[in-house]
Chain A
């Protein structure tokens, strides 16, 4: 019963706020959804402690109902609980609960609050269905459900054209990944005759060496299936090529970015690969593919993160990059390290986003870091929370002594990749080290630009709006005209940022505690040499040889992440604190490269030229030339012309004739049938 409550309470909250929210005070909807999530979260922690370390190697499967059955394709609603699920349950419900609570403060001025909280709870329900799935189709249900919630929340401020565009982009790009996922499910059903996850995982190891036809060629069976499924993961987890929706998704309210686009939904792809780890290890080619995509994304996104000015976009690219780490960890076979990074990342990335939200809240919706500066003293609690997050993501820590959360998980990944011994694994490891340098640089850059130096608030359009409103002299036109013109404007312009309310600070505090301690507390169990096997208990493939090899890697690899972390910090400090003219000078020097990186490697522009515009152009051509120009011209219109009346023929049929036409037709039919009956059927 406990597991049903965990999963379905958020659904009840969604139904209440969504259907009944308009009839009650917004505060009621906020409290109902938040309290439901709090209960769900509490029970999840019970489930976690009950399941991890349990002696029983079998997952608990709670049947709910039959969904659909067709031939031997039988799909049930059921909740599957094992250690992997339990980890996801606590991550999802904890972050979701904190985000619900945070949103009470953050969204307090918004008229659409019941709708907002309904969507948050809907998301949580779908995510829980995803992580408790016992078959691939229920996983797909959750997969698409979180996609819907993400779409609705990105487009929450639906009056903004940019929010609507971002919402559609997120949904459609994810559907490209879903094409792979669906074909992967179909292929899995073809090969295994079932979509039940335990049955597939039991049979997968025996499939080595078999081949299957796909698109007219023959391939290794498990390679085809795993790569198809992984394409789904690439869409949901914003990996290189299908990543373009994630930065745009920052159009949604900041709590949404923290919950969906950092801590939970975007990690669904990593979860899927780990859940299906026995399938993936059956195909070395697919594992290489995963490693390569992960490493490439990790590097690509980190480079872009160093150049962005929007505080949320920096963190968004950071998320993309960290997901890359998780994937290449999975690709080299360190699934437990991938899950460990997923776990710690959920805390510190949610913290960074909620901290950024607190900054944005204080700065009256300004998101451009060029208009921040000197906020350390104005919003000290937010500052310290962000510091905890930054120390965690940059991986500050000393081996075998102590460290922040990211230190343990990121080092485990880099070490495992190196220890895998393959050239690709070592390439991934080096890429991970370079990305760690960039991570350290952009994270400290964010901190220095936001919290240190002199205030640069005067140039901000949003701040001017705030001041205008405060003085009762509301003149939007004037504010529009001189906004953003003077980037060099410094000073406070008389604005006083305020620290956020308690309901926003408590989640920051809890997550900060997670960012500081999660690594130290759980390191032994998630990835420890002796702790991992009993902890995971067969829920994913734990590669003991790899873990042993990781203990024995050269010292220069072991210390490299630490060194680059320091280097990134010093560089950022020098460039943004010591010598603030330096970045502009560097940009001057490497103009072309900077432009390339600043424009996100021109992915959006490329896709616009090769996909979006052609789709509309071809659509218009098919319509005007295909349907009207050819089919109609030589079809019905041509027939009319042949009859001898030209296209005028059509117009001469008048409604008065219609009835007689119809009557003649009916009578003719009856006559024909009657006549033939006499002769034919005898």
Chain B
């Protein structure tokens, strides 16, 4: 909380590392990248330790006017804090995952990753509308390059699709931002979060932001770029894509759509619910029939992100806090699942599910961790997956039992496709001799997966460590949107009930 610009430092470290990587040969670039990301992770821990729970809403704020009203404005609340922590935690793991897998143009690759880290932290730390926009859009560029240069055989089509989808959304969002800056006379995000835009305008602004965030999330039906992007991206690219980039959509809703346009959010909540309900059932069924491991997990991501949107638009504490926890948990768990795919991809160079089988026999440690992440993905209580899913769905039930009932079918379908995947990869007999010869986890792979496993269990058993920082922020948001809250379809209307409810509290 001192005046030390720690956020700027966190942005600068990876950026300097990136420059260093560009000028280095492969072994040194790997080392630089690892050190830079570990330093940023350590800074993240400092941030966490220094963050005053229950203190000011915005902490570690920095203001530096640049030119004509445009300012270098950074600062975080609890919501941004935990997402930054997620990013800096996953980053060193991604570097480790790329250690041997990337052989060509290592320096550029590491530089792209470090640049992305800067931009990701920037997205969550930016307090100026246009600063946010630059980070938000520029963050795509390194990912675009990572898929396009170090990706698989169909990488061009995938990166093109990725580009095309996100382009449309960002143009509309930029126009909306310009209008907002003009109307409110400021680009300061904390101020805008309390600015009451006229209800008529809110709808248009909300839709413009929605176009961008829905693609990022991704929501059905603008999700089809995700499976292709995941399949073509190198392992670490998938981890960051699923772990952090998808969270920017949810962060956008929570930072912009809900507090800035509460009435429009209530107005369009049925649209969100409809798309989310379709997504849960539709993408889960599609996941069930996939032959490609990465595609399966990518489709499962769409279904999980639908739980996030449902929770966010539940307009209550449980829903929004649950959505936050789903975002964190999904970042860890789907990242870990992609790493699990990467581990065996590195050995056999195929993502075809049927080429594996019986891995529990020759890779028992791998099978154990894969089982843990599978269970976390399907929301087993005791893992991080449960807390978020449970809170989000409990939240939405308070608003609509229909949406809750349909969304909760995800727990059945999710179990079906994940256990079916696990059964084909790790159970059964060893039918392929090459798969049966694969060695178990190396020390490097342990170092990637074990920390995530520990955090997944930690968040499952004592999530308070992660919820506490953003509780006050969610409460403030809840208060801000409360007056726009749509009517509940599950309302209790007995004469005696109000009395009883009061007692129970």
- Shortest Cβ distance from residue A436 to the other chain B in the assembled complex, whole angstroms: 35
Residues of A within 8 A of B174 (CB): 669, 672
Tell me which residues across on chain A come within 8 A of B413, comparing CB atoms: 615
- A506 cross-chain contacts in B, Cβ below 8 A: none
State the CA gap A666–B412 with chains docked (Å): 43
Binary interface encoding of chain B residues 412-430 relative to chain A, with 1 for a CB under 8 A from any of its CBs, else 0: 1101100110010011110
The reply on A4 being an interface residue by CB < 8 A is: no
Question: 1/0 per position for B460-499, CB-CB distance to A under 8 A?
Answer: 0111100100000000001000000000111111111101
Tell me the chain A residues, 210-242 only, with Cβ under 8 Å from chain B: 210-216, 221
Check B317–A70 contact: CB distance below 8 A.
yes
Quick check: is B164 within 8 A (CB to CB) of the other chain? yes
Q: A438: shortest Cβ distance to chain B, in Å?
A: 33
A168-B285 in contact given A191-B492, A207-B500, A669-B133 (Cβ < 8 Å): no
* Complex interface bits, A157-173 against B, C-beta within 8 A gives 1, otherwise 0: 01101001001100110
A69: interface (CB < 8 Å) = yes
Contact A148 B156 (CB under 8 A): no
Q: Measured between alpha carbons, how far is A192 from B398 in the docked complex, in Å? A: 12
Is B501 a contact of A192 with CB atoms below 8 Å?
yes
Contact A210–B494 (Cβ < 8 Å): yes
Chain B residues within an 8 Å CB radius of A199: 504
Roughly how many angstroms separate A459 CA and B176 CA in the complex, as a whole number?
80
Contacts of B380 in A (CB 8 A): 144-145, 148
Q: How far is the CA of A672 from the CA of B138 in the complex (A)?
A: 13
Q: Which B residues, 45 to 75, have Cβ-Cβ distances below 8 Å to chain A?
A: 67-70
**Complex-state Cα separation, A291 to B398, whole angstroms:** 30
With an 8 A cutoff between CB atoms, is A632 at the interface?
yes
The answer on a CB contact under 8 Å between A158 and B427 is yes
Q: How far is the CA of A429 from the CA of B463 in the complex (A)?
A: 48
CB pair B493 A673 closer than 8 Å: no
The reply to whether A669 and B138 form a contact with Cβ atoms under 8 Å apart is yes
Report the stretch among A177-185, A294-302, A494-502, A595-603 that lies at the interface: A177-185
Stretch of B19-27, B266-274, B387-395 contacting A (4+ beta carbons < 8 Å): B387-395
In A643-681, the 8 Å CB interface with B consists of 650-651, 653-655, 658-659, 661-662, 665-666, 669-670, 672-674, 676-678, 680-681
Q: How many A-B residue pairs have CB under 8 A?
A: 267
Stretch of B90-98, B326-334, B339-347, B403-411 on the interface side: B403-411
- Of B178, B181, B393, most buried by chain A (CB within 10 Å of CB) is B178
Do the beta carbons of B133 and A673 come within 8 Å of each other?
A: yes
A254 → chain B closest CB, angstroms: 20
Name the CB-closest residue of A to B395: A70
Give bound CA distance, A670 to B138, whole Å.
10
User: A583 near B: Cβ within 8 Å?
Assistant: no
Interchain nearest-CB distance for B189 vs A (Å): 14
One of A306-314, A448-456, A549-557, A618-626 at the interface: A618-626
Whether the pair A681, B415 counts as a contact (CB closer than 8 A) is no
Q: Which of B142-150, B190-198, B231-239, B240-248 has 4 or more CB atoms under 8 Å from chain A? A: B142-150
Q: Is A521 an interface residue (CB 8 A)?
A: no
A587 and B493 CA atoms in complex are apart in Å by 57
Please judge, given known A-B contacts A158-B428, A619-B289, A636-B224, whether A203 and B504 are in contact too, CB under 8 Å: yes
Nearest opposing residue in chain A for B394, CB measure:
A186
Complex: how many Å from CA A670 to CA B130?
9
The answer to whether A158 and B156 have CB atoms under 8 Å apart is no
B224–A191 CB distance below 8 A: no
Q: Chain B residues near A60: list those with CB within 8 A.
A: none
Does B182 lie at the interface of the complex (its beta carbon under 8 Å from any beta carbon of A)?
yes
Partner of B419, one of A72, A172, A193, A640: A172
Are the CB atoms of B391 and A216 closer together than 8 Å? Answer: no
Contacts of B494 in A (CB 8 A): 207, 209-211, 221
Q: Residue on B with the closest CB to A147?
A: B380
Q: How far is the CB of A155 from chain B (nearest CB, A)?
A: 6
**Residues on B with beta carbons closer than 8 Å to the beta carbon of A167:** 419, 423
A436 to B454 CA separation, bound complex (whole angstroms): 51
Interface of chain A, main secondary structure: helix
Q: Which B residues touch A206, using CB under 8 A? A: 496, 499-500
Cβ distance B329 to chain A, nearest Cβ, rounded Å:
12
- A215/B402 contact (C-beta < 8 A), A71-B318, A209-B496, A655-B148 known: yes
A681 to chain B, nearest CB (A): 4
**Are B423 and A164 in contact, with the CB atoms below 8 A?**
yes
* CB-defined contacts of A651 to chain B, threshold 8 Å: 156-157
Contact A68 B415 (CB under 8 A): no
Q: Using a CB-CB cutoff of 8 Å, which residues 354-410 of chain A contact chain B? A: none
Q: Is the CB of B412 within 8 A of A175?
A: yes
Chain B residues, CB < 8 A from A655 = 148-149, 155-156
CB of B381 within 8 A of CB of A145, answer yes
Min CB gap A661→B, angstroms? 7
B residues in contact with A216, CB < 8 Å: 402, 489
CB contacts under 8 Å to B, within A27-73, are 65-73
Is B117 part of the contact surface with A, judged by Cβ < 8 Å?
no
Contacting residues, chain B, for A674 (C-beta < 8 A)? 67, 70
Q: How far is the CA of A254 from the CA of B449 in the complex (A)?
A: 35
Interface residues of B in 141-195 (CB under 8 A from A): 141, 144-145, 148-149, 155-157, 159-161, 163-165, 174, 178, 181-182, 185-187
Q: Is the CB of B393 within 8 A of A622?
A: no
Chain A, residue nearest B182 (CB)? A680
Nearest to A157 among chain B residues (CB) is: B427
Contact A215 B405 (CB under 8 A): yes
B322 at the interface (CB under 8 A from A): yes
B505 interfacial contact with A, CB 8 Å? yes
Pairwise interchain contact A70-B462, C-beta atoms closer than 8 A: no
B366 at the interface (CB under 8 A from A): no
Supposing A207-B494, A666-B141, A681-B185 touch, asked if A615 and B288 sit within 8 A by C-beta, the answer is yes
Q: Is the CB of B490 within 8 A of A190?
A: yes
Q: Is the CB of B412 within 8 A of A623?
A: no
A619 near B288 (CB under 8 angstroms)? yes
In the assembled complex, the Cα of A682 lies from the Cα of B419 at a distance in Å of: 58
Q: Are A653 and B70 in contact (CB under 8 A)?
A: no
Report if A439 contacts B (CB, 8 A): no
Task: Known contacts A144-B381, A155-B427; decide if A66 and B504 are in contact (CB<8 Å).
Answer: no
Known contacts A141-B381, A179-B409, A669-B133; decide if A682 and B286 are in contact (CB<8 Å). no
In Å, the complex CA distance between A650 and B154 comes to 11
Q: A616 near B492 (CB under 8 angstroms)?
A: no
* Residues of chain A with a CB closer than 8 A to B113's CB: none
- Interface status of A26 (Cβ within 8 A of chain B): no
Question: Does chain A have a CB within 8 A of B40?
Answer: no
- Assembled-state Cα–Cα distance A615/B393 (Å): 23
Residues on the A chain within 8 Å of B427, using CB:
155, 158-159, 164
Kindly state whether residue B134 has any CB partner on chain A within 8 Å. yes
A interface with B by C-beta (< 8 Å):
22, 65-73, 137, 140-141, 144-145, 148, 151, 155, 158-159, 161, 164, 167-168, 171-172, 175-176, 178-179, 182-183, 185-187, 189-194, 199-200, 203, 206-207, 209-216, 221, 615-616, 618-620, 622-623, 626-628, 631-632, 635-636, 639-640, 650-651, 653-655, 658-659, 661-662, 665-666, 669-670, 672-674, 676-678, 680-682
Name 20 extra pairs, CB < 8 A, besides A148-B375, A210-B497, A662-B141.
A141-B381, A151-B419, A172-B412, A172-B415, A175-B412, A179-B408, A182-B411, A193-B501, A210-B494, A615-B285, A619-B288, A631-B224, A632-B161, A636-B164, A650-B161, A655-B156, A658-B149, A673-B133, A681-B69, A681-B187
9 CB-based A-B contacts, threshold 8 Å: A179-B408, A179-B411, A210-B494, A210-B496, A615-B285, A623-B286, A636-B165, A665-B137, A672-B174
Interface pairs A-B: 6 shortest CB-CB: A210-B494, A71-B317, A186-B397, A619-B285, A681-B69, A141-B381
Residues of B within 8 A of A (CB): 67-70, 130, 133-134, 137-138, 141, 144-145, 148-149, 155-157, 159-161, 163-165, 174, 178, 181-182, 185-187, 221-222, 224-225, 227, 282, 285-290, 316-318, 321-322, 358, 360-361, 364, 375, 380-382, 386-387, 390-391, 393-394, 397-398, 401-402, 404-405, 408-409, 411-413, 415-416, 419-420, 423, 426-429, 461-464, 467, 478, 488-497, 499-501, 503-505
